[in-house]
Amino acid sequence: MAYTLGEAAKASGKSKGTISKAIKSGRLSAVKQDTGAFRIEAAELHRVYPKTVDENQNRTPQTVFQTPENTPSVRELQARLEAAQERLADRDAVITDLREDRDRWRQQASALLADQRPVPQLVTEPALQPHQPVVQPPKGFWKRLFG
């Protein structure tokens, strides 16, 4: 049976990087395939890294559930729940207040912007008389310097 790098990591409980470093350093032998993936024999892997036992396979129903000594009381859980609900209600109130403030500020800003916006007017250039020369604006410093 041969593992890929990921399968070997799961079987040994190590990371893929650890397995890869062991291969590169020569501690663990593996065959590199044409695709670039490593094939690691199970015996070779478990020679270097012992096989880990899956904890979920060995659990009995008694160890899954908490014992009565470790179980929090119903009153304690209800108190925690009520405290959490109060915190959520407080946060909801703060969010509502912030939204109202935001809406008021938005209305004020819109009113100020509406008052300050200039009314667009049509700007007409004066008609040039045939005998008036066209005056060009003076050139800037860089235009005068470099033409």
Using alpha carbons only, give the angle 10, 13, 18 rounded to the nearest 5 degrees.
Answer: 95
Q: For strand 2-3 and strand 38-41, is the pairing parallel, antiparallel, or unpaired? A: antiparallel
Give the model's confidence band at 125: pLDDT under 50 very low, under 70 low, under 90 confident, else very high.
Answer: low
Give the model's confidence band at 55: pLDDT under 50 very low, under 70 low, under 90 confident, else very high.
Answer: very low
CB atoms within 10 A of CB 16: 15
What's the CATH class of domain 2-48?
A: mainly alpha
Boundaries of every domain in the chain? 2-48, 85-114
Structure tokens at 24: 């590169």
Of all residues in the chain, what percent carry a pLDDT higher than 90?
29
Q: What is the pTM of this model?
A: 0.37
Q: Report whether pLDDT(48) > 70.
A: yes
3-class SS at 138? coil
CB atoms within 10 A of CB 46: 16
Residue ranges in 26-140 assigned as alpha helix (H): 42-48, 61-64, 74-116
Query: d(Cα 97, Cα 118) in Å, to the nearest integer?
Result: 34
| pLDDT tens digits along 78-121 | 888 999 999 999 899 999 999 999 999 999 999 888 887 665 66
